[in-house]
């Protein structure tokens, strides 16, 4: 099984590996760095979805044949409850002519940090500078959401959830009429 992940991000790679190890431990993972075609800090679900699809399309131009193409996009979004960080996933399976989407759980960003966010890079820097936790030393492995959730929901967990939702949808034949 050949899988193309359209990012070289460590947490995204770890999430893909966790999911596909359960399906076929002999999979081949190819990571390519591509542009999302959306803003550096997507701020709504549609932009996260578009970024994921754009990544898949760019990946297909670089690697012509694969069983799965995966686009992952982190977003910061705001609603009545506050500001949240989450991840979107699009997976395309050319063999089955299917595409599936999934979203992770959303992690609330503390208000005093949310007020200053302008980009994901800034979010991790804000967490490093202002978050009162010894876990900040592990931000590279946990991600901002891992720090905020006291390591209970790290960035790799976020993307693993989104991948499981998207892939599970693709693999369930009942979602596709005969």
Note whether residue 95 is domain-resident. yes
**CA–CA dist 177, 27 (Å, integer):** 28
Note whether residue 115 is domain-resident. no
Given a contact cutoff of 8 angstroms between Cβ atoms, the answer to whether 17 and 29 are in contact is: yes
Q: What is the DSSP letter of 173?
A: G
Given a contact cutoff of 8 angstroms between Cβ atoms, the answer to whether 57 and 70 are in contact is: no
For the entire predicted model, the pTM comes to 0.93
| Other Cβ atoms within 10 Å of 55 Cβ, number | 27
Closest C-alpha among 167, 138, 165 to residue 11: 138
Phi and psi at 138, nearest 5°, equal -105, 20
Note whether residue 141 is domain-resident. no
Note whether residue 131 is domain-resident. no
Sign of CA pseudo-dihedral 171, 172, 177, 178: positive
Averaged pLDDT for residues 29-50: 94
**CA–CA dist 55, 90 (Å, integer):** 9
Q: What is the DSSP letter of 110?
A: P
Note whether residue 19 is domain-resident. yes
pLDDT in tens, 1-19: 999 999 999 999 999 999 9
CATH number at residue 63: 3.90.950.10
Note whether residue 71 is domain-resident. yes
**C-alpha 10: how far from its chain's center?**
11
Instruction: Find the domain containing 96 and state its range.
Output: 2-108+154-175
Note whether residue 127 is domain-resident. no
Q: Cα torsion for 111, 90, 25, 151, to the nearest 10°?
A: 0
Confidence of residue 119 (pLDDT cuts 50, 70, 90): low
Count of domains for the chain = 1
Note whether residue 145 is domain-resident. no
pLDDT in tens, 51-92: 999 999 999 999 999 999 999 999 999 999 999 999 999 999
């Amino acid at each position: 099984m050949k899988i193309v992940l359209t990012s070289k991000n460590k947490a995204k790679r770890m999430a893909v590996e966790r999911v596909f190890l359960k399906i076929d431990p002999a999979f081949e993972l190819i990571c390519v760095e591509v542009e999302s075609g959306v803003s550096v800090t997507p701020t709504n679900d549609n932009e996260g979805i578009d970024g994921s699809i754009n990544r898949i399309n760019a990946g297909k131009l670089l690697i012509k044949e694969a069983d799965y193409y995966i686009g992952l996009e982190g977003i910061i979004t705001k609603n009545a409850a506050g500001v949240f960080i989450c991840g979107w996933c699009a997976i395309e399976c050319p063999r089955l002519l299917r595409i599936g989407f999934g979203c992770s759980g959303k992690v609330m960003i503390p208000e005093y940090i949310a007020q200053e966010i302008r980009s994901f890079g800034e979010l991790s820097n804000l967490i490093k500078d202002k978050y009162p936790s010894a876990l900040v030393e592990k931000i590279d492995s946990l991600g901002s959401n891992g720090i905020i959730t006291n390591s209970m929901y790290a960035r790799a967990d976020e993307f693993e959830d989104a991948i499981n939702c998207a892939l599970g949808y693709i693999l369930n034949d009942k979602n596709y009429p005969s």
